[in-house]
Amino acid sequence: MDKAKDYFILKGQSPDFKIYYCSFCKTAFSLPFLTDQELAESYPAEYEAYNMRKSFTSLLQIVKYKSDLSLLKKNLSKANASLFEIGAGRGEFLNQAKNVGFSVSGLEPGQAGRAAAIKLFKIELRPGYAGELEFKEKYDAIVMRHVFEHIGEPVKVLEKIKSGLADHGILFLKLPRLDSWEAKFFKKYWHGYDLPRHRFHYSAEGIIKMLKNSGFSQVEIIRENVPSDIIRSLEYYNLGERDLLGRAIKLYLVLPDIIKLILAQAAVIILSPFKSGRMIVIAKANSL
């Protein structure tokens, strides 16, 4: 792929990054490969995962949380299940899970996120990175919501997750989908790349292959349409291009937020027969 930049935090004023695709594993990865410590500065205190969203966007986010929790409950065989979230951000999802009966805990490397979780929801998150995680107890569900793509050692983390899942426990992932129409259309401006924070980029086939090779079974892929992702990708295109499409996008971006969202939702509906830009992945670890 062509060289791409950090369009989310640095608005295109970043060093160049490249994305290489492995045709065997059906997965792509970002170069240069950065360590957790090198990437830390790409998650500033104002990073959106650490801060509450604006009113209307916040309502939409809560709807997503409830939908995710409904899926989790549907796939778990017990009430009052335990849930551990890796990369819990400001703790908002864990708070919603707690409100519907889950016993919750989680991990968050960002100090700003941990501080927000305590201040907003009185939830104390463990510090540290996913690769350093050691489970001292078993959980019915381990969740990574738009976190797995940030991890530099995914196979190692999956091994740790297997050790932390209770019998009949599930792994619940939310990921950008590399083989989506959005990735193919927007290319380097696709919001799902989110360079350099996203270190791996998974197709549905790629994540299924990795999970099965790591000892997971019954892998289910569920499409997820997110209109705001399309808006973000259009914003990134507008940062980088001044062609005819870029000029049309600029006119779209000055519309009121609610109109932009309605139009993006219409595009999502029209293109729903194709592969959407995000996916939900539910998997169970093979029994020993």
State if pTM tops 0.85: yes
**CA atoms of 141 and 85, how far apart (whole Å):** 8
Q: What are phi and psi of 261, to 5 degrees?
A: -65, -40
* Region 77-105 average pLDDT: 93
pLDDT band (50, 70, 90) for residue 54:
low
Domain ranges in the chain?
Answer: 18-285
Query: 18-285 in CATH: which number?
Result: 3.40.50.150
Quick one: tokens of 5? Answer: 């930049």
Checking if the pLDDT of 119 tops 80, the result is: yes
- Predicted pLDDT at 63: 86
Q: Over the range 233-250, which residues count as b (16 or more CB within 10 Å of their CB) and which as e? A: bbbbbbeeeeeeeeeebe
Length of the chain: 288
